[in-house]
Amino acid sequence: MMPLTMAKRGELNSIKKVGGKQEVKRFLENLGFVVGSTVSVISEMNGNVIVNVKDSRIAISKEMANKIMV
């Protein structure tokens, strides 16, 4: 397992775990970051990432991306 920030661009990854406080987990799960779903990094800038999850492009901060394990 590794945080989403370390995933290679364009590579398909399966979400293994979503960490953080309960409200952070709920926020990420509402965006589509649920265990078992597929996520791929589209671009990365200063640690912040744009990802493709459930046919949507979502920009998340480095701190949020570090809580998503793939």
Q: What is the pLDDT of residues 30-52, one digit of tens each?
A: 999 999 999 999 999 988 999 99
Structure tokens at 27: 């926020």
Q: Which residues of 16-26 are buried (b: 16+ CB within 10 A; e: fewer)?
A: eebeeeeeebe
Q: What is the pLDDT of residue 32?
A: 93
pLDDT class for 63, splitting at 50, 70, 90? very high
Residues 6+ apart with CB under 8 A from 21: none
Does the domain at 4-69 match CATH 1.10.1740.10? Answer given as no
Q: Which residues of 41-55 are buried (b: 16+ CB within 10 A; e: fewer)?
A: beebeeeebebbbee
